[in-house]
Chains A and B, each alone.
Chain A
Amino acid sequence: MPRSEESRLIARARRGNAEAFRQLVEAYKERLFAFIWRMVRDHHEAEDIAQATFVRAYEALESYSDRWAFSTWLFTIAYRLCVNYLRKRRATASEVDFGQVGDAGPDVTEVLATTEEARRLRGLIWAAVDELTPAQKAAVLMFYREGKSCEEIGRILEIPTVTVKSHLHRARARLREALQSELVEDWTAIPLLRDARTA
């Protein structure tokens, strides 16, 4: 959505125009939900958090500043809600079946991969991503999936840019460590992984 159109919709939504806000929800719901789902790895919780994010955004629309992209603001709200949820979940960990939580799932890598090896590696990568801390995971998802700059990510996570870089560095180190032992003879020769971005 062009920035000018987005600004117009935000202005109209601020004046109480529900249809304008509905268009904003339509424009961002998929991206937002994908991010939240990756963070919490629970479909129903992710749906609830996505809904709560939009509701809070609507209530606080007056406080939004167009100095930053609307998506950045939305992701900030979503991230806070995800962290709150993850804290609660950790607090009640003894009551939770962790066999169901954070499981990369057998279907994670099915669509892109056409070879068994590529499918297996995708599963390993996502399993390693799920082992990252919430801040590292959010930084990685924002950087790679949303194409956000380190500065924007800092704004979303409410941390300095240098801390974002540190999170990305540590996340890469952990992912590298998790995959280093894999018996991949040549990482440069895995076309499906290399070309996944354009698939």
Chain B
Amino acid sequence: MNCAECEELFDAYLEGQLGGSLRLEFDAHRVRCRRCQQTLAMLEAIGNVIAADPQVPELPADFTARVMSEIERPRRLSVARPRVRLVALVSLQAAAVIAFAWLWQAHSARSPAPPPSTPVAPVVATAQDEMRARAMELLVERFEDRLWEMHAAGAKITSDLASVARYLNIMIPEDVVRESVKMAGLNPLQALWDSLLPTPPDEVEPAPADQEVHSI
């Protein structure tokens, strides 16, 4: 290997990508060539200085606080963009469907009163109920927060969403209800939503009297 061939491999060497027999030839040349040794040492010294030089001015102590105060305004406005708004609406509806299904399930499970003579582990049942209630509460809180964020950003709320909000006892302004836009035609979750809607009481087939009802 001569100097020109060796120099062609400088980049690969400095980037740690020189291996195998080529590396052996490269090293063999470097050992006996003073000029290549010097050039490589210079390039390595340059890299080391760039890597380690600590002389960067310090950021002011309140930099993070300034960033955090700055991000508040644009964040609220960004929700109002139509595409984001549509995605947010669909996501929110999906969350609403899940919340509704959960609530409906919980409601159905609680409806039949357990026979007083049945010794069903009361402590476990209470703990489960508490967990379920807490989870439901968190879900509703989250749903409520998003609803208000969307309203604050000027987004329309679908009538389906308004119905869910009413069902979950979430207070929403009357003007929002009036202005709610029916978006079922655009909403791919509508079929799922319909299938989860509670059946009217008069259509429910009465369960046989002797059939045991299991809670979920």
Contact = CB atoms under 8 A, between A and B. Distances in A.
Given A25-B64, A26-B64, A168-B15, A193 B57 contact: no
Interface of B is mostly: helix
Given A29-B63, A144-B47, A187-B42, A112 B52 contact: yes
Interface string A142-165: 011100001000000000000001
Nearest to B142: A15
A25 B67 contact: yes
Interface of A is mostly: helix
A55 B71 contact: yes
B57 A37 contact: yes
Interface residues of B, number: 39
State which size class the interface on A falls in. Answer: 35 or more
Contact of A187 (B14, B41, B56, B84): B41
B48 A193 contact: yes
Interface of A: 16, 18, 21-22, 25-26, 29-30, 33-34, 37-38, 43, 46-47, 50-51, 54-55, 58-59, 62, 107-112, 121-122, 125-126, 129, 140-141, 143-145, 150, 165, 168-169, 172, 175-176, 179-180, 184, 186-188, 190, 193-199
- 7 closest Cβ pairs, A-B complex: A187-B41, A193-B45, A196-B52, A144-B50, A188-B41, A196-B48, A34-B56
Given A30-B59, A129-B50, 20 more contacts: A22-B68, A29-B63, A33-B56, A47-B59, A51-B67, A51-B70, A59-B78, A108-B53, A109-B53, A112-B54, A121-B45, A145-B50, A172-B14, A175-B46, A179-B46, A187-B42, A194-B41, A195-B48, A196-B48, A196-B52
